[in-house]
Structure 1
Amino acid sequence: MNTPLATEILRASAVVVGATAADKAEAIERVGGLLVAEGLVTDEYVRAMHEREAIISTYLGNGIALPHGTGENQESILQTGLAVAQFPAGVPWGDEPARLVIGLAAKSEEHIPILSRLASVLEDAELCERLARTGDPLEIHGALTADGAVQSGGGSELGEGGIGRTVRIANPSGLHARPAAEIVELLMDHDADVTIVAGDRRANAASITQLIALGASVGDEVGVSASGDDSEAAIEAVLRVLLGEGEQR
């Protein structure tokens, strides 16, 4: 069953299948054009999507990319929403091919249920493959707007010997794609299981999609807990990102 809010954020008309693109710049233009056509953003936002991609890849895994603009381009977002372009043959996106490219424009937190659902979809390789091949745009729309969005990311629990901290996010990008990717990369160097909690949502900090699905923004309070040999160092690394220390544009 589809939720009304989700279908407002991702309209059926904003999903196209069978698209082609020579590279990710062309793919971003395609999905950005859908956002413009839906009245969600101005052309300036599409340029911001390219700028964001130049900073850090928005590839999430399992053939899915989530290009979006930078935090300085809120005025070019007319309405919160998403658009999806399917590229069955794949588009080179760093070391992996993207076959579903989801353009995101967010003025508020209304898109969080769909991102939570996307986190669930990403963990199902078989479903991702089916959506990358289907000739029916409504199948993609239905999969992303269905009930059953993930509220618990299945992150590690704070067990015996674990430590935790609470922090208010100061990073101007919140906990969206760029800082989420930074956290995942930093934690690769630490022997620790890290969990981030925002409200009633919990994420394994090693999963970029679970972090994005938290929907945490600047000013929000989150809890960071860890267990393992490098717990303290891992938490400090995460806190540096959340506090925006060393943030560069």
Structure 2
Amino acid sequence: MKKTPTCPMCHSGDSLAPISVDGGADEAYFCEECSNLVHTRAPVVTAPRRIPRPAATVRGELPGPSDADAGRVAEVEAVKIQFLARPRDSGSKVAGYLEGYQQVFSSVGLAACAPGVLKDFANSNIGCNPGNMSVFNSAWNELGEREAAERVREVIDYLLRGEGLDLEDRFSALVNGSASVEMKGFKEALLTRVLWVDDPGRFVPLLTYTGNAGKKEIARSIWGLRLPDPDSVDWSLGRLSV
């Protein structure tokens, strides 16, 4: 038998008369002793939270060279060797851009850089195009450059040097909003751009995992690898992207 609550005002449990409440989520009682309205809420039942597997465990499951056709891999490697053998201008616009922003993204440079340097980074298409930045720019204008720049600094520092989580999971946390820091509009494309600038030998400027020409599509086109949709596996967007 369901127990009638006690009035928190007069502590009476015998003078409470139930009344109906729209929606059914709440139960309400009117205390005839002190005229207090008492609300009680039915408990909410939630599914148990699944604990994600460690990033190191997942890395071994990701598709790699051994999953691609050996002939296709050899063909791609030959093309890469030919491309890298071409003369390149070490003073190119992209090379200078990377060198400059690598200094900006250092712990010392990030704290000292002017706000405009960070806004320019988000809107630049040197090396790769992050797409429409209207959400970021609107948030920047609403916050003001001082607060907006500080948030961008916190996001970049957390992505590159945050503690407690692997890089892949810090990336995911920033995308899904579960990180302790956030800047509206500074999501997957710009986070990937930060990784590319910080370590261009490891990351390529394909700024989205899937899209018209994302990592998923390029992997299939070049190596014949069929990468999964982010929602179909528990690897997370960050783990797939990194």
Richer in strand (by share): 1
**TM-score of Structure 1 vs Structure 2, range by shorter chain:** under 0.3
Richer in helix (by share): 2
Larger-gyration structure (1/2): 2
Q: How does the TM-score come out when normalised to structure 2?
A: 0.27
